[in-house]
Amino acid sequence: MKKVGFFQSIRLKFIIIITLLLLFPIQVIGAYFSQQLEEKLKQNFEESITNNVDILNIQLEDAFSKERKEEAPSLEEDVQDILQGFDAENISELLVVNNKSRVIAATEDSDKSKVGKRLPLTEIQRTLMLGTVDADTKVNQKGERVLVRTFPIYQEKEKDNQNGDQKVVVGAIYLKASIEKVYGQLQDINRIFANGTFLGVSISVLLGIVIARTITKPITEMRKHAKIMGAGDFSQKVNVYGQDEIGQLAVSFNELNDKLKISQATTEGERRKLSSVLSNMTEGVIATDHTGAIILMNEPASRLLGQEIEDVQGQPLLNVLNIHKRLNSITDLKDQESIIIDFSEDEQQLLLKASFTAVQYEMEQMNGYITVLSDVTEQEKIERERREFVANVSHELRTPLTTMKSYLETLTEGAWEDKEIAPRFLDVTQNETERMIRLVNDLLQLSKMDNKDYKMHKEKVNFIGFFQTVVERFEINQDDHINFERQLPDKEVQVWIDKDKMTQVLDNIISNAIKYSPEGGTIGFQLEINEHQQKLEVSISDEGVGIPKEKLEKVFERFYRVDKARARNLGGTGLGLAISREMIDAHGGEIWADSKEGKGTKVTFTLPLLKQYEGDEE
């Protein structure tokens, strides 16, 4: 989980919110206060000047109304005397003009050069004409803001019976007053207010940090514990600091931790069970997502496919199973219960049965597929052999029956009266009957061996003497055109065998050697003792036509003949070597054949020596 920096944390957001909540009202109040204070200071300043000028105006009206004698001071002198006694504080310039706009007196701070001169200012003219007080704020050459005002000076006229007393404007007062002190005071007050605001905001920020830390500390702890829970550790719990909403959230968080701990333990147990089941299954299991991409495969499936899960993870199931040509898309698996897939390579046969099951959510939304792979190579092989066995039995029985039927029909039609043909036909019929009897007996014997419905009557036997007896029996009954050659040990070799079953094995092998040996050929009999493996090896070889290398393993299969036509002519059923293999296996030995085409065949089987069967009493 990515670490949250301070500038991205909720703590900073709390601090900013608290600061803004305090700063915004202060700024609104400060702006309103500054505006009102400015207006009030200006109003007080103007009222102060107006009050002073009102007193001066009364004195000037008296001076303008006074009758002048020759020896009395002039109007200019009286006005100047009045201005000298006037308190001109905050007034930078004060001029008194007559009704002709001529300056007749000025204060000490005023420009004296303007006295006696006409001052044709618009505000003065307006005041003289209209008798109104004119006020304006201007900026002088120094860049200072000044208040410019003109006040009319009235004089009473003589009484008129119709109009009564009337006043006329006889002059005006023109003054300039700097208001920079007012703005200076306002600036000082604003500076004090700004300092107070900064101090208040600073204290608020500190309080915000403390408050934000109080609020965010439980949240930070829950975040850290959530990260720990994400790693699979449910042993720790967060602290509960109160009963408010954050405290209740901490309690709920701890409850969630306990439930997740139980759920995780349950899930882990189920996962282990599932993993154990998948690992110990003989069938292969492949899981895919809804797109058909492989997400899980157990070890048996890996062995069957010959690929590791790392190699096929994320690949399409249809491609891995090599059925993408048979199915257009993964959705076609809904209509397939199972498919037989051929993974055979060269001489190694491998047939897999793939069974598909769709995994769906409750709303029937497809979540994926489960594929179960089973090795059905042996099953298919057994099924094929069963079909071939039935076909071979039918064929082997049909051939003699057809022959017998044709010969019997011929005899029935009158050939039985022919003394030359009848005995020959009856002899053929008898041979075919004996052949069918041998075939049925062999089949019954194989059936008993397949069903384990037979008993082995084993006994301690000197195999050299036993083997000599069997060979001599064949040697006496054979013509001189076949030679018998023996290579036998001089000492006794004790084995634990069923003499009848072993006699049948030797009869089958020796009979085949005699059948396929050419005239003047030699049949070799060889016995070797393997002391290290405690086994006896018995080999019987001939000088017949031999068997192709690729067919050596098949000669022990039921009804298999290398040369079918010749085998039937010699009266073989194709079951002799198959029966021999079953009997050798029952004795705990092995049997195999070695051959070269045109140079003969050697059949070898092994038997355990008596030392391995001591105490056996079957």
**Consecutive H or E run containing 82:** helix 75-84
Q: What CATH number is given to the structural domain containing 405? A: 1.10.287.130
First to last CA, the chain: 74
> Considering 448, 472, 504, which residue would you say is the last residue of a domain?
448
Is 603 in the same domain as 467? Answer: yes
- Between CA 77 and CA 52 the distance in angstroms is 21
Is 310 in the same domain as 252? Answer: no
Give the structural domain span for 581.
459-613
Q: What CATH number is given to the structural domain containing 20? A: 3.30.450.20
268, part of any domain: yes
Which tokens in the block code for residue 179?
């208001």
- Between CA 326 and CA 498 the distance in angstroms is 54
* Short-list 289, 236, 230, CA closest to 258: 236
Tokens 């008798």 -> residue: 131
Q: Which residues pair with 156 in a beta bridge?
A: 167
- Number of structural domains the chain divides into: 5
Q: Which residues pair with 539 in a beta bridge?
A: 526, 604
Q: Residue 450: what pLDDT? A: 65
> Considering 422, 448, 474, which residue would you say is the last residue of a domain?
448
* Short-list 450, 440, 445, CA closest to 397: 440
Q: Which residues pair with 171 in a beta bridge?
A: 98, 153
Q: Which residues pair with 155 in a beta bridge?
A: 168
Is 113 in the same domain as 76? Answer: yes
Q: Residue 618: what pLDDT? A: 40
Q: Which H, E and C letters describe 290-320, residue by residue?
A: CCCEEEEECHHHHHHHCCCHHHHCCCEHHHH
- Between CA 539 and CA 488 the distance in angstroms is 11
Is 333 in the same domain as 385? Answer: no
Contact present, 75 and 65 (Cβ < 8 Å): no
Query: Dihedral of the CA atoms 15, 19, 21, 25 (nearest 10)?
Result: 180
1, part of any domain: no
Q: Which residues pair with 374 in a beta bridge?
A: 353
Q: Residue 69: what pLDDT? A: 67
194, part of any domain: no
Sign of CA dihedral 67, 71, 76, 77: negative
Contact present, 498 and 587 (Cβ < 8 Å): yes
Is 417 in the same domain as 552? Answer: no
Is 430 in the same domain as 444? Answer: yes
Q: What CATH number is given to the structural domain containing 492? A: 3.30.565.10
- Between CA 225 and CA 229 the distance in angstroms is 6
- Between CA 502 and CA 606 the distance in angstroms is 12
330: phi then psi, degrees, rounded to nearest 5: -65, -25
| Residues of the chain with confidence (pLDDT) below 50 | 1, 565-571, 612-618
Query: How many CA atoms lie within 13 Å of 261's alpha carbon, on the beta-carbon side?
Result: 13
Is 348 in the same domain as 400? Answer: no
> Considering 448, 467, 497, which residue would you say is the last residue of a domain?
448
Q: Residue 526: what pLDDT? A: 92
- Between CA 112 and CA 121 the distance in angstroms is 17
60, part of any domain: yes
SS3 197: helix
563, part of any domain: yes
219, part of any domain: no
